[in-house]
Structure 1
Amino acid sequence: MNHPLTIYNTIKRKKEQFVPLHEPNVGIYVCGPTVYGDPHLGHARPAITFDLLFRYLKHLGYKVRYVRNITDVGHLENDADEGEDKIAKKAKLDQLEPMEVVQYYLNRYHQAMDALNVLPPSIEPHASGHIIEQIEFVKKILDAGYAYESEGSIYFDVEKYNKDHHYGKLSGRNIEELLNTTRVLDGQSEKRNSADFALWKKASPEHIMHWPSPWSEGFPGWHLECSAMGTKYLGEEFDIHGGGMDLLFPHHECEIAQSVAALGKETVKHWMHNNMITINGQKMGKSLGNFITLEQFFSGDHALLSQPFSAMTIRFFILQAHYRSTVDFSSEALVASEKGLQRLMEAYENLNKLVPSATSTVDVKGIREKCYEAMNDDLNSPIVISHLFDATRSINTVLSGAATISAEDLEELKAVFNLFLFDILGMTKTEESSSANLEVYGKAIDLLLQMRIEAKANKDWATADKIRNELTALGFEIKDTKEGFEWKLNS
């Protein structure tokens, strides 16, 4: 498989070729969430990773079609071919329609993505809305001889496929290992071997979501949706397919096999996988008790969090690591990210305070090129951030009076920050105050009201009234108490 480092050069060459107007220069397909629970940090990382790619390719001038699917059917509890559908199970527990569950959690997912400043994809198809396409894809695989029917279900014949192709090429596995180590589950006796996976499952009487097909009343297998929707919207060959590292096997491995079986060729030119987020070296997950939703990050309402963290702090925290590296979560690491982001934001604000001189004694001319080099090197966002910190040191040196900067260099620094910090890395200029800023904000109000108490004690009624009146005009509600005072900001 092609290494991700080749992506930029491959796309750069493609841009020089003639492309019909209705076709994108670059097609990207990313596996989106299964919407049966609140969005969490594991959802944030792939969303931010591929948002970075989307932003950068658009900045370079490519016409990008970015498809991010929504899994709302066929994802069973054990990620295999048995167990209850995750969304159907949630619907039964909450006494809701399955699509009601989907819509509720999809709304929450979109709200979280908006907060993280993740751009919406070009197309966001649902698996449940593409049943016909998935049935047609199964027919092609059957016609090619790489699938078989068993008791109304259709299974992909991995062993037969492997005789003609290499099943496991993406993850580096071989069929012998899979056949020897794959756990045989109760109820899977209708398969020819345990490595086979479902393309279509006959629905049991209690299964809520099912559709008619030539083989049975049933539902598509989990792996099938991406093959069907990816080729529908991006064609039989497209540039980039992405998702979390946990999807590499079996999900993406199965996608490759399905596409080769149905179309006679691989669909994806480049595979990109972001690595995991861990806590003390363990993958973040519900079963380990270290699962934290994005809403809990924003509110600080979790035992592992020392304080609330803003959406931009979460985004910055994720971008400080290369997307192929693991990110080990801790509240302390988030606090450090919050301070780092605040430092960059203050540097940007300080640019407007600098007075240009005739010449520069700080060297800022190479920062733009260095940032481009880092982005072209497999989206190396932490190196981009390090260059922005280098620029911050120059800004602070000029601000202190120890150096000078010309008008040309000052405008270049402003342009570099606007381009890389905001447009490409996706940080927002109008973000609400971070928790650290809120703490300082509160202390400032307390200080003013303490000055008001001292003014009253000195019978300086004019000053006391002025402080109260000015704060009231700004929307604060002030209440005098026996202990001193209370205040709140009316919304």
Structure 2
Amino acid sequence: MYRYLTYLGYRVRYVRNITDVGHLTGDADEGEDKIAKKAKLEQLEPMEVAQQYTDTYHRDMEALNTIRPSIEPRATGHIPEQIELVQAILAEGLAYEVNGSVYFDVLKYNEKQQYGKLSGRVLEELVSGSRELDGQSEKRNAVDFALWKKAAPEHLMQWDSPWGKGFPGWHLECTAMSSKYLGKHFDIHGGGMDLMFPHHECEIAQGNACNHVDPAKYWMHNNMITINGQKMGKSLGNFITLQELFTGQHPLLEQAYSPMTIRYFILTAHYRSTLDFSNEALKGAEKGYKKLMNGLRTAQKLQARPPLAQEAPDEKQVQQVEQILRQLFRAMDDDFNTAQAIGHLFNLLKKINSLYTGQLAAEALGETLFRELLTRYVHFVTEILGLREEQPNHQEALLEALLGVYSEAKTARNYAKVDAIRAQLKAVGIVVKDMKQGIDWAYEE
């Protein structure tokens, strides 16, 4: 999304926050802080744990060729802003303090606003379904959620506040940081479908309570990952990390899958659809990725051609190419449908391959459309979809040198050497292509 909006010419401020405090086990208002729990187990400072996970995340996102956000704030770096928000919500009469903790009063908020409008939850049903909890909590109602929690003396992460030592609730940080860096009402808020309720619903309530406006115009939720048709989870033993995918070191994996294969695979599904990881699907993605990379190399070679000396437009071919180009943008404009866009890219690739083999003359498209076809393909693959060739730079030089030896052997009719070089390259996934205009290579698809 960030790449495409930027490509269209928008100035995008992309904020991605790091939750390093306030997210309790079980995603509830009771229990241990997830970071603090890990810190105790491993005898580390909580910030060491947070930094380890942040560094690992950055490493994996870099491998997947994702662009860093404009701002990446941390919850622990915005405690004063979160305390101010709690005070503002208290001043509106939509929160209450009990024994050093502050809770959002959902029922009172619902008198004027609609709690549950994003997820479609009905508050009366939520209240009815949680009645058995009444009397077991200091909350007025079980549906209320924590804005600030009192810290026990042994709690590792705690700050001074007007209500005593404590720490912020999980939902509060997002409202504080989005308001600070994007304003009270901004364009797009993303997240997984599992965050729609209660997390994003609570953000909407907080935003309306203190800023008197919905925080975001659009909420975009990506769907969940499944493994061989089952929901991915540690308890099921089918939880696979990115590093395990990259190395193939997992019982469910038949081989390693490169970062760009994983990126391509994710893009072949619409973000609101479920994504099922299986060896069969990943191997198919590997082939698809290599096809796009072969097309990228071909398109870049065609771009190096000198301007056309003459033109002989073929109206049918012109219309076909123009339609594919329109469909590419139409797919991305329709809720960032990368799956459809990739399908149209393959149609464009057929034209590129025909141009390369001479089956389709560049003159039939004319100089302007010929260049646009190549440019759009390269841009969509690299700038919008964010795919890149994974071959090291020095390997390209070695390949060219080996193809030179291959060419000499072929000229000398040393077919034993020709076959040996072909076999050696095929063993590492490279196919030698003997063409009218010379010898080339491609990834084995």
- TM-score w.r.t. length of structure 1: 0.75
The answer to whether 1:413 aligns with 2:361 is: no
Separation (CA, whole Å) in 2 of partners of 1:80 and 1:352: 53
**Which residue matches 2:204?**
256
Contact 1:351/1:410 (CA < 8 Å) preserved in 2? no
The CA deviation at 1:83 is 1.2
The CA deviation at 1:243 is 0.7
What does 1:91-490 correspond to in 2, within 5 Å?
91-182=39-130, 189-352=137-300, 358-359=311-312, 362=317, 363-406=320-363, 407-429=367-389, 431-432=390-391
Secondary structure in 1 aligned to 2:81? helix
Partner amino acid, structure 2, of 1:330? S
Question: Which sits farther off after the overlay, 173-182 or 239-248?
Answer: 173-182
Separation (CA, whole Å) in 1 of partners of 2:271 and 2:139: 37
Question: Which sits farther off after the overlay, 298-307 or 350-359?
Answer: 350-359
Supply the RMSD in Å over aligned alpha carbons. Answer: 2.5
Contact 2:299/2:377 (CA < 8 Å) preserved in 1? no
Identity %: 60
Name stretches of at least 5 consecutive residues in structure 1 with no aligned partner.
1-52, 449-462, 468-491
Contact 1:275/1:325 (CA < 8 Å) preserved in 2? yes
Please list the CA deviations of residues 244-272 of structure 1 after superposition, one character each: whole Å capped at 9, or x if unmatched: 11100000000001111112221211111
The CA deviation at 1:392 is 1.5
Secondary structure in 1 aligned to 2:26? coil
Separation (CA, whole Å) in 1 of partners of 2:43 and 2:292: 48
Q: Between Structure 1 and Structure 2, how many residues are aligned?
A: 389
The CA deviation at 1:144 is 0.7
What does 1:47-126 correspond to in 2, within 5 Å?
53-126=1-74
Contact 1:66/1:122 (CA < 8 Å) preserved in 2? yes
Please list the CA deviations of residues 87-129 of structure 1 after superposition, one character each: whole Å capped at 9, or x if unmatched: 1111111111110111112111111111111111010000011
Please list the CA deviations of residues 171-206 of structure 1 after superposition, one character each: whole Å capped at 9, or x if unmatched: 001111111224866995111111111000001122
Tell which has more relative contact order, 1 or 2 (C-alpha 8 A, sep 6+).
Answer: 1
Separation (CA, whole Å) in 2 of partners of 1:114 and 1:317: 17
- TM-score w.r.t. length of structure 2: 0.82
Contact 1:201/1:221 (CA < 8 Å) preserved in 2? yes
Please list the CA deviations of residues 272-310 of structure 1 after superposition, one character each: whole Å capped at 9, or x if unmatched: 111111124433222222111111011010111111111
Separation (CA, whole Å) in 1 of partners of 2:282 and 2:313: 35
Please list the CA deviations of residues 399-420 of structure 1 after superposition, one character each: whole Å capped at 9, or x if unmatched: 4443323354442222011221
Contact 1:360/1:403 (CA < 8 Å) preserved in 2? no
Contact 1:279/1:329 (CA < 8 Å) preserved in 2? yes
Separation (CA, whole Å) in 2 of partners of 1:175 and 1:57: 36
Contact 2:203/2:215 (CA < 8 Å) preserved in 1? no
Separation (CA, whole Å) in 2 of partners of 1:323 and 1:416: 23
The CA deviation at 1:236 is 1.2
The CA deviation at 1:350 is 2.1
Contact 1:150/1:190 (CA < 8 Å) preserved in 2? yes
After TM superposition, what 4+ stretches of structure 1 lie above 6 angstroms from structure 2?
none
Separation (CA, whole Å) in 1 of partners of 2:253 and 2:64: 19
Secondary structure in 2 aligned to 1:106? helix
Contact 2:299/2:378 (CA < 8 Å) preserved in 1? no
Name stretches of at least 5 consecutive residues in structure 2 with no aligned partner.
407-416, 422-445
CA 1:114–1:215 in 2, change beyond 3 Å: closer, same or farther? Answer: same
Separation (CA, whole Å) in 2 of partners of 1:182 and 1:425: 44
Secondary structure in 1 aligned to 2:201? helix
Contact 2:232/2:239 (CA < 8 Å) preserved in 1? yes
Separation (CA, whole Å) in 1 of partners of 2:322 and 2:21: 52
The CA deviation at 1:423 is 0.6
Separation (CA, whole Å) in 2 of partners of 1:368 and 1:279: 34
